[in-house]
Amino acid sequence: MYGSKDSDIVNNINVKTLKESFRKIEKDRSRALEKLKINVEWNLVKNYPQMYSEVRAEKTPLILESELQTFLGGRGIRPTPIQYFFYGVAASYLSTIMLILSEKEIHVSDAKLELEAEVDYSRLAGISENRDPIKSVVIYLQLKCDLPEEELLKLIEDAKMRCPVFSPMNLEIKLKH
């Protein structure tokens, strides 16, 4: 956050920019929309990671590679797609709570999150009609800040409601030629 005064930074977030963005979104809801596009290629060449993607961050491209678990025919040399998925869930939730705390200018001295999940692959294997393959997800949150526990618990619940990954998604799949 170059060019910012230290007083604008709370918990490594530029709060001045954050508050201005929230004000703009309040005036014009379309400013809250972000369109994302991610291309993932399946690599058919032996000894290369199975999946490859070049993802554009705002200022630079990053390469993401993925492999299936060994029991699903992968080599286990890269994170699995489900690991990336749960990383996204965990990082989205942690960033949501940090945004809420920072907007309120509540300084945090420690913020850690541990996510544990249990996934049932029997439907993927075609041997079950299991409608809930994600059996459980538990997030353990460690936050140190100057808030009474009761207020912190309310903020934690608010972050759960505001985090975009905890809402159902509108999914459509189309065949591209």
Average pLDDT, the chain: 93
Q: Identify the pLDDT of residue 4.
A: 58
- Whether the model clears a pTM of 0.85, i.e. scores above it, the answer is yes
With a pLDDT cut of 70, the percent of the chain lying above it is 97
- Note the pLDDT tens digit of each residue in 150-173: 999 999 999 999 999 998 888 888
Interstrand relation of 9-10 and 41-42 (parallel, antiparallel or unpaired): unpaired
Taking the C-alpha atoms of residue 105 and residue 8, their distance in angstroms, rounded to an integer, is: 10
pLDDT-derived band at 120 (thresholds 50, 70, 90) equals very high
Query: If 0-12 CB within 10 Å is exposed, 13-18 middle and 19+ buried, where does residue 79 land?
Result: middle
pLDDT at 1 over 60: no
- Note the pLDDT tens digit of each residue in 16-74: 999 999 999 999 999 999 999 999 999 999 989 999 999 999 999 999 999 999 999 99
Taking the C-alpha atoms of residue 22 and residue 20, their distance in angstroms, rounded to an integer, is: 5
Helix axes 81-103, 15-27, angle to 10 degrees: 90
Q: Which amino acid is at 97?
A: I
3 compared with 86, residue with greater pLDDT: 86
Q: Which amino acid is at 85?
A: F
pLDDT-derived band at 9 (thresholds 50, 70, 90) equals very high
Q: What distances in angstroms separate CA 48 from CA 63, 75, 77, 80, 130, one per listed residue?
A: 14, 10, 10, 14, 32
Domains and CATH numbers, the chain: 80-177 (3.30.300.20)
The three-point CA angle 118-124-127 to 5° equals 105
